[in-house]
Structure 1
């Protein structure tokens, strides 16, 4: 069930307030816990989504729903060798601290993100000072083997890590492909 479907069913409206979204997310997380209790941590792939200032929440919720739905389809097919998707959302809760997991489809499991997605923003691209609290944490995630991915303007935050410079210089061991919506702005940075 998608978040908007849940909101319509529970609240009779599709405009999510932050309280409604939190309640539906808690319900979804409890539901998923029951479905996937039998899975071992080694058969789990975690996909993290980073919430940073002005991150587009519609994309965050949409990606979360998409991955949860994909997991449901995979589970219904019953293939025993299919990994379980753990969908998490990460955010800085206290200044001067690293982002922490604030939403989790499989609480209590012991994994780290295999992929960390930096969603787009409808605001101006993130500036150097706003990106600074994320820089070292994202670099550390990359060093530990997490694949960093961005959607549209999320590339500006990814660019602030310095990892794209290494990629362009051929220094990265894990190259990627990028499409730049605002390629001239990225090039200027």
Structure 2
């Protein structure tokens, strides 16, 4: 009988642990919904996401690629896409994801191994901005044939031929093709 009690107690403990993890995930999702609602309101849209309502639709009255830079405010707790758009609007030029990551790390005063932090955050920015890429909110330019030399900016920073307009150029020092490499012998 005592062994059954132990098994039941272990099962109960496990279920309580799972429950607490699910509650934490629900809190994260609620925060994300609040962020989406805030973004929709900032874009002039109708708020349609609601907690615990089952509503999954949304209405945005303007296109995302028409975001006015004046409406963008930095929110440390916001979505990475919003942080990236903020950095783009602040810098007002094409940026490499690593450069944007450096800006976010600086803004948020994140401490640690800078190389590892930048690499990790740049990867997350790349994944997080997939929607922005598909919607045409951001566009890429690649001045060389190397993927590492890809820079991101706003479509209105390009002329009708896809050339960068004056004042929106990327930092040429960020080109990987300009970096010197060392070889082990």
Q: For this structure pair, what is the TM-score category when the shorter chain's length is used for normalisation?
A: under 0.3
Instruction: Choose between structure 1 and 2: higher helix proportion.
Output: 2
Where relative contact order (Cα < 8 A, 6+ residues apart) is larger, the structure is 1
Q: Answer with 1 or 2: which has the greater Rg.
A: 2
